[in-house]
Amino acid sequence: MRVVVTGGAGFIGSHLCEALHARGDDVICIDNLSSGLVDNVAHLLESPRFHLDVHDIREAIEVSGPVDAVVNLASLASPPAYLDRPVFTLTTGSIGTHRALDLAAAHDARFVQASTSEVYGDPAIHPQTEDYWGNVNPIGPRSVYDEAKRYAEALVAAYTRSGINAGIVRIFNTYGPRMRRDDGRVVTNFIAQALAGEPLSVYGDGSQTRSLCYVSDMVRGFLAMIDSRVKGPVNLGNPQELTVREIAERIRDIAGSTSVIDYHPLPEDDPTRRRPDISVARAELDWSPLVDVAEGLEKTVSWNCMKYAENPSFVDAVSI
């Protein structure tokens, strides 16, 4: 296949580009590098089956030659990043998704939209199923990300009703190597702080939950979605639910750190519970996560330790 991946130099995007290339596909990675890094795909640049196009998908996307699939991962996903650039986040999710869909339509290609568990907001049902409409504050500070993704889903659904072969994936709390240390989410914050010997910043009392899915499992789900005609939305995530305090303690133990836990007020609209129901993914994609959280956190901490050995400033304490 010949696959276009927008946001392909980002965290999940670069792993997906790598997996597509490894199975023999030609990959066109489109990224404006607002949060993605050339380093994430540097090992692919010499291959004739990989091309990096530095481009903002809010502008028209032109790809010469055939395109079999378009995967839209372009978005700021880091809370500090999207809170700092709210209009950019909203227009990437709206105009950018429109441009990516037009590219797929022009080539009669399969389209896969990367959405998020944040469309459920602070959920009133648990675990979250795809037929739940969510509990989102449409004008709160986090809405710039949540509503960008909700609008993108509506846009994909509209194109699908017009005949485009498109599907929607809702991503739950993915982690692993290549996450930016300034990402601002729990795993990266705790690792950076633990390795630096700084207090671990827990917001609220730490009883709120997250369900962590290792990046290789998430990529397998995307590959299955690309190769299918499933419309979705489909939850992709690990149903193993942990409290934020448990995540902090596990990372501290893996890192061999003596960091204490420092409690802070819970940010506005921060979701209190997150756990995917993955029945649809199991039934329609034959997908479920394989990497246990303990194994995944070990790998992620080890990768960060390697980066720290190369550059000690890589794990400077993070505050958000």
Give the CA count within 13 Å in the CB-facing half-sphere of 222: 33
Phi-psi label, residue 305: left if phi above 0, alpha if psi -120 to 50, beta otherwise: alpha
The CA radius of gyration of the chain, in Å to the nearest whole number, is: 19
CA-closest candidate to residue 134, choices 150, 116, 119, 151: 119
Which residues, in sequence order, are CB contacts of 194 under 8 Å at separation 6+? 200, 251, 252, 255, 257, 259, 301
Active site residue 159: no
Sequence-ordered list of residues with C-beta below 8 angstroms from that of 94, at least 6 positions apart, any chain: 148, 151, 152, 155
- Phi/psi at 2 (5° precision): -120, 115
Determine which helix (DSSP H) or strand (DSSP E) holds 310, and give its type and residue range. Answer: helix 293-310
Instruction: Kindly compute the dihedral angle of the four CA atoms of residues 268, 273, 278, 281, in this order, to the nearest 10 degrees.
Output: 10
Distance CA 126, CA 120 (A): 10
Give the span between the Cα atoms of 230 and 216, in whole angstroms.
21
Query: Which residue type sits at 272?
Result: T
Catalytic residue among 145, 159, 175, 214: 145
For residue 3, give the H/E element and its range. strand 2-6
Distances (CA, A) of 223 to 11, 19, 218, 239, 253: 16, 8, 9, 20, 33
| 26 neighbors 2 (Cβ within 8 angstroms) | yes
Question: Hey, which residues are catalytic here?
Answer: 145
